[in-house]
Structure 1
């Protein structure tokens, strides 16, 4: 079942004033998050009444770490209609919450962090996160204000503490984390001076399990009505959108029927199309092959349960063989299941290897998990978040974006003169 999670993360720089709380509540309510992570609340205690003054109505459940005087303070709030809290812990620099999605039973962990500003405390901060990480299982996301940069590109003047940056990068590498790229801006903090100093202090780090469970995870920013930090907005979905752009799958070449499919559609453009220019004839051939390949792939697409059924048949017959000799038909069935399973595993590995774009890889041909991770990372980085239509309106819908691109490219493509044929055998 499709799972979609919307997270909002923001260092609000204090929630003591009434006007500040109203601004935060209005800004957060516009995005309808299912989870809200706030840092630097500067509140020593948060009652349900106080929380209602800065949380939207849908976020009534929360866990918080009180501030020390007027310093720090973390709160994680969530929509309990969608998510059920299964575990939480409060540490020196973070609030960890593990949720179960009510519609899918997906378990995932959100670690809401607020890093210290003082230099001596930063190694302690990273060490604290390393110590709690082994206690988590499944998808995990660290997000918040880390108060650390990774490279000179993360600061507008390029002046960074290289020792702290190296320690931060070592922390990310040691835990095997991935950073979700921020798509629409470079920096998340400003000292609000003239000229300003800008830095990237707020970020989202995920483990590989998150990337597998929620591959369509994109990070953008929201408008900043208050505070010197920009709110960051994470949308995570279990299903990546399928592009309407045609892609030739390398795994198709392993099927004996595919070459004839290509040849028959390519040769369907002949003397009857002599009125077309050579370029138009080439475009027409390509369009017919593309349409036929799409239809052919759609017809032979198998449900995800197919591989599970093959494994179940093999396992059942193996156990049955321990009690009696298999009949010839049972032996043939097991061989057939093994053949189909091997073929589909090969196609799956080829599919993800093609999308990973990793050259000279020595991790093994069957390591589809690794290639899946590479492809998910490229998807998160290369997405076009918005497109502007002719009327000036911005759209983020995948279908609407595809329509805009096809409308723009259509004049450059030759018209499809006749339907493609999907026949895969000679007449």
Structure 2
């Protein structure tokens, strides 16, 4: 079966540029599932789903933020995964169900672990207790805020007790720590010298790996968050060409009003009927939208490539002070 799950600590989803970054990632990867952490949203709407690039059919589950902290969102394709039960907590969302064409019950977990070491033990004990109630194929993804060993952190000190808590949880639930392709770390403080940590990952048990035997865990672009997005991918799937649809976010983009004014003015001079007028407007919007998206995508791609190059230098220890200041500037530009 085809599968791709993307997990990303977005560090706030309320700003337009954050939603646009998610939309660009969704358009490029076309995943069946999206796990977001630290949304910082108390209220979540279907409008935001569409703003992030998903169609009307997509389902979602939301664990709201408390004030301006936390917040978790799962978005999935119900044609791919039929959910029978949803468990929502402050720090995790569990989707219980079956993939289309399979009789195997699966549990997909989007989680955001505590950053305070003293809270990790109770969090993983609670999660272990919940998972232990079900004998299913498990896949856990998200920002665990925990590392397995010293090799997963560069800079500052290690808390070996917290590492042992995380390792005991993995062993007790019989999860497999999948290798990360494309890099070694998923978070950086972007300082000089930098601290690099692998906080984000996917874990799965053997039942899930039997269902998806060709799983790869990939490090994706960090973009405008200080966390890298990661993708869990079985095999790629081509879904065909998407039809053009008009979304409200286009109304807010620079240049849209001028295009509409010019288009309607020209069409009115031709004394067209209402249907032909709407067809002409659709053609103009479609043409402008295509050019606008390609221009924005090109600009974003150039900046993201520069960011990725600097991130690679930082992870390899080749960065200098000017690289860090340039990285901050590029993130602001993006």
TM-score by length of 2: 0.67
Conserved 8 A contact 1:95-1:112:
yes
Provide the aligned C-alpha RMSD in A. Answer: 1.6
Conserved 8 A contact 2:187-2:226:
yes
- The structure whose residues are more often strand, as a share, is 2
Conserved 8 A contact 1:65-1:73:
yes
Give, in whole Å, the separation in 1 of the partners of 2:126 and 2:91: 8
Secondary structure of the 2:6 match is strand
Conserved 8 A contact 1:58-1:79:
no
Compute the displacement of 1:185 (Å).
0.7
Instruction: Report Cα offsets for 1:126-161 as digits up to 9, x if no partner.
Output: 111111112233210111100011111001127210
Q: Does residue 169 in structure 1 map to residue 155 in structure 2?
A: no
The alignment of Structure 1 onto Structure 2 pairs a total of residues equal to: 235
Instruction: Report Cα offsets for 1:241-279 as digits up to 9, x if no partner.
Output: xxxxxxxxxxxxxxxxxxxxxxxxxxxxxxxxxxxxxxx
Instruction: Report Cα offsets for 1:268-307 as digits up to 9, x if no partner.
Output: xxxxxxxxxxxxxxxxxxxxxxxxxxxxxxxxxxxxxxxx
What residue number does 2:31 align with? 33
Conserved 8 A contact 1:27-1:225:
no
Task: Decide whether aligned partners of structure 1 residues 55 and 122 sit closer, same or farther in structure 2, where only a CA change above 3 A counts.
Answer: farther
Q: Which runs of 5+ in 1 are unaligned?
A: 238-427
What residue number does 1:68 align with? 66
What residue number does 2:229 align with? 231
Conserved 8 A contact 1:154-1:187:
yes
Aligned ranges 1:175-194 → 2 under 5 Å: 175-194=173-192
Secondary structure of the 2:228 match is coil
Conserved 8 A contact 1:149-1:160:
no
Compute the displacement of 1:211 (Å).
1.8
Secondary structure of the 2:122 match is helix
Compute the displacement of 1:105 (Å).
3.9
Compute the displacement of 1:92 (Å).
3.1
Secondary structure of the 1:100 match is strand
Secondary structure of the 1:227 match is coil
Task: Decide whether aligned partners of structure 1 residues 92 and 19 sit closer, same or farther in structure 2, where only a CA change above 3 A counts.
Answer: closer
Instruction: Report Cα offsets for 1:383-409 as digits up to 9, x if no partner.
Output: xxxxxxxxxxxxxxxxxxxxxxxxxxx
**Greater relative contact order: 1 or 2 (C-alpha under 8 angstroms, separation 6 or more)?**
2
Conserved 8 A contact 1:59-1:78:
no
1:130 to 128, 131, 134: 128
What residue number does 1:109 align with? 107
